[in-house]
Structure 1
Amino acid sequence: MALTSSPAPVAFLGPAGTYTELAALLACPEQPHLHSQGSHPLVPYPTIIACLEAVATGQQEWAVVPVENSVEGGVSMTLDALWQLEGLQIYQALILPIRHALMGRAKALEQIEQVYSHPQALAQCQVWLGSHLPQATLIPTRSTTEELDRVQTQPMAAVIASERAAALYKLPILACPINDHPDNCTRFWVIGRSQPKADLASPGGSHTSLAFSLPENVPGALLKPLQVFAEQGLNMSRIESRPTKKSAGTYVFFVDLENAPDQPYLSPKVIAALEQIAETLKLLGSYPVHDLSKQGGIAFPN
């Protein structure tokens, strides 16, 4: 299902200048209406779960959220929210290359006493920070841009964010790129409400995502759903577990599958087999993936 051309707002993790906002601006190359804030306005939210709750409750039609970083792994807040909330569907995925910049008003790196950023960004730059700013205290924030206003008046503070954020907030870039791995990239999902009709509930594409819990924690319990994938020739591009938060030692498993070239959806046979095994099964969507990390470069919207 293609995104509508109506000017429905898109929720993103704010404030302005985050990588999630950039992903929202760049999402869906075949959907030009998404490129313009004027025709498809972006609405910042303070947390990932607030973005998804806005869609689940009908406040917004779309949300763009991070789901996995190539260095630090899965984004637990996104996965937990998708398991807990009802009526959400993945419509597209976008893989965005990440270039972290250190920005602030300090005259020299030696002056910096605090570095603010999202925990994932701090972790992705930990080697550089340990080498160049061993004296600085690392302070996690809800997003990479949450504390950018602080450094306008505090020269002893700096923020790790995108080069686009530095331009938006008119802050000097002190060093860039500072991420420890040059091929660092983050995968984002475009999330909308699931549709009532089965044939409209998923747009179809190269990947399918699902989540399931198992009725009991016994030897071989996880092997059964994995055998279903193997028998049907489905390759798992990712599997990750998250606590159910019901009792210790119980987990939800999130799986991304590569669809067969001639099958853009998960077959009813596979779904039926998984329903026989799982305690709870949530089909999160079949969707296309746009990998901007493999392109020669990307245009950064203003």
Structure 2
Amino acid sequence: MTISIAHLGPHGTYAETAALKYLNWFTKSHDQAALLCPYPSITQSLEAVAKEEVQVAVAPIENSIEGSVTMTLDALWRLDTLRIQHAIVLPIHHALLSIASDFSEIQTVYSHPQALAQCQNWLDRNLPSAQVIAANSTTEALQHLGEDQTIAAISSQRAAQLYSLPVLASPINDHPENCTRFIVVSLDPSPGGSRTSIAFSVSANQPGVLVKPLQIFAEKGINLSRIESRPTKRSLGDYVFFVDLEADTRQDAIQSALAELEHCTETLKIFGSYDVLPAIG
């Protein structure tokens, strides 16, 4: 049986690179073939798993510069059946692609909003007059670059090679240690690992409502590596809290903590325990 792996397309995105890394790890670890399936958006790639169109999706969840990828967080909360299997950390090195011979010819720059934000200072210094336009991915606009020397796109060196496009500058990200954490999700139970991801909502927006959930983990010596709020979209000031724990749900302490957490939250969702995959080509 061949498993299908959804990711944000089209061909050449960073999500595809992360999916390729997972594919390489999977085929070396299992006696099973795998193929990549690009989708037009992050949300659609995750929905494809929930709808059982594919077995696995690889989606970005957090960037070291710009923070969480809200589309992924919102989809995890909405799609109850998704479980995290692994995480992949990918270094991100952005490049400016264009057929222009000089920066002065460039009037418009396209890319994914995260990539644009990660290169904002560079753009302000080098292309202060260029119009910046958000695209669904870092490769969406590449097919148009060969037709117009007034446009450019922020993408990867790999994408430049795949689309046979010249690189005007690289790397252009504002911080050299830029990296993105991707998650691998499926409908299967999570395998267990050093990190657990959960989310919860509370019944009322009032002082101290977050103290009790956090106190539970503190009392049991469970470290939180990330906590972030997202609007529930029900009313202003109503939030969902996403939390990453440095623990495994198979441990007695975290099982006890999660049991207590159910009593002081409105809704609790456990996305699973997992490990970060080792670097692999």
TM normalised by structure 1 equals: 0.88
Q: Determine whether 1:279 maps to 2:266.
A: yes
Letter in 1 for 2:146: Q
SS for the counterpart of 2:3 is coil
Q: In the aligned structure 2, how far is the partner of 1:240 from the partner of 1:219? A: 17
For 1:1-302, list aligned pairs within 5 A. 6-27=1-22, 30-33=25-28, 39-194=33-188, 201-259=189-247, 267-290=254-277, 292=279, 299=281
Contact 1:207/1:259 (8 A) holds in 2: yes
Contact 1:204/1:264 (8 A) holds in 2: no
State the 4+ residue runs in structure 1 displaced beyond 2 angstroms: 27-35, 262-268
Contact 2:27/2:33 (8 A) holds in 1: no
Q: In the aligned structure 2, how far is the partner of 1:44 from the partner of 1:29? A: 17
Deviations 1:110-134 (A, max 9, x none): 1101000000000000111111111
Q: In the aligned structure 2, how far is the partner of 1:91 from the partner of 1:155? A: 43
Contact 1:204/1:265 (8 A) holds in 2: no
Gaps (5+ residues) in structure 2? none
For the structure 1 residues 265 and 252, does the alpha-carbon distance in structure 2 shift closer, same or farther, using more than 3 Å as the test? farther
Q: In the aligned structure 1, how far is the partner of 2:252 from the partner of 2:183? A: 17
Over the aligned positions, Cα root-mean-square deviation in angstroms equals: 2.0
Question: How far apart are 1:217 and its partner, in Å?
Answer: 1.1
Q: In the aligned structure 1, how far is the partner of 2:155 from the partner of 2:212? A: 43
Letter in 2 for 1:84: R
Question: How far apart are 1:264 and its partner, in Å?
Answer: 6.2
For the structure 1 residues 256 and 131, does the alpha-carbon distance in structure 2 shift closer, same or farther, using more than 3 Å as the test? same
Question: How far apart are 1:180 and its partner, in Å?
Answer: 0.2
Question: How far apart are 1:140 and its partner, in Å?
Answer: 0.3
For the structure 1 residues 218 and 291, does the alpha-carbon distance in structure 2 shift closer, same or farther, using more than 3 Å as the test? farther
SS for the counterpart of 1:288 is strand
Matched residue count:
280
Question: How far apart are 1:218 and its partner, in Å?
Answer: 1.3
Q: In the aligned structure 2, how far is the partner of 1:13 from the partner of 1:34? A: 24
Contact 2:247/2:254 (8 A) holds in 1: no
Question: How far apart are 1:290 and its partner, in Å?
Answer: 2.9
SS for the counterpart of 2:160 is helix
Q: What does residue 198 of structure 1 align with?
A: none
Question: How far apart are 1:86 and its partner, in Å?
Answer: 2.0
Deviations 1:16-55 (A, max 9, x none): 10000000111276533589xx931111100111011110
